[in-house]
Amino acid sequence: MTRRKDIVATVDIVEVFGDAGSLPFFNAVQGVLRRTTNITCLKLILSFEPALRILPTTQVFDNLTDLNVNAPHTTVALFLMNHLSITSLAVGACHTSNCPLTDCLLPLLRALTCPTGCVRAVTNAATPLTHLATTHGATGQDASFPLLQLLNFTPILTSSIITSLNINIDHQTTCLLRRISVATPALHVLRLTESPFLVGVRHSIFEQLIV
């Protein structure tokens, strides 16, 4: 028993995804998380009903800096209240109309991956963000978020400078590069991906098929 405790105390990274993220393994996953409180990196991608409170929101991982989870943002917000040392955050679909991450203090956050519709909620003038990537969640709410609400000719607020942007785009967006340059005026790296999920892109592909 003592030997097992010693081993889990030195675990630095816990990653749960694929079959390990299915419901039959959930109790085992919770057991692992209860004993690996020294980790710095947690990836938790579960494949069952996301409404479950899949994050141990009352448990504290004192050294955690890197979090990648697909829990609803309401749950993620509760978890982040006790984890102010997060420097890298990746989240899945939001599952609410008003992103609850807007109230989170993330004073050390440097890298963020989140749905397009949640970027403005997470970022603020106190967040030293340098790397931003947007995704499309599985819900209609995330997929239908208009890109123009993010790229609305106002800067994305941070206390630092965003130098890397990875974003899903609709090539029919007017003034796309100008919108990006206003939102993130000091980029060193820009990755644009034509998203098949955006409404405008779907229409464009359909029009090409019927010509």
Contacts with Zn ion by CB under 5 A lie at: 73, 94, 99, 118
Measure the N-to-C terminal CA separation of the chain; round to a whole number of Å.
69
Query: Which residue, 14 or 104, has its beta carbon nearer to Zn ion?
Result: 104
Shortest distance (Å) from residue 135 CB to Zn ion: 11
Shortest distance (Å) from residue 101 CB to Zn ion: 5
Task: Count H helices and E strands in the chain, helices first.
Answer: 8, 8
What amino acid is encoded at 122 in this protein?
V
Give CA–CA dist 10/22, Å, rounded: 26
Give CA–CA dist 206/110, Å, rounded: 38
Shortest distance (Å) from residue 154 CB to Zn ion: 19
Q: Where are the beta strands (DSSP E) in 66-118?
A: 66-69, 88-91, 111-115
Q: Where are the beta strands (DSSP E) in 70-126?
A: 88-91, 111-115
Query: Which residue, 39 or 44, has its beta carbon nearer to Zn ion?
Result: 44
Query: Which residue, 36 or 75, has its beta carbon nearer to Zn ion?
Result: 75
Structural tokens at position 161:
């400078």
Query: CB neighbours (10 Å) of residue 60?
Result: 12
Query: Which residue, 99 or 156, has its beta carbon nearer to Zn ion?
Result: 99
Shortest distance (Å) from residue 45 CB to Zn ion: 17
Shortest distance (Å) from residue 197 CB to Zn ion: 17
Query: Which residue, 21 or 117, has its beta carbon nearer to Zn ion?
Result: 117
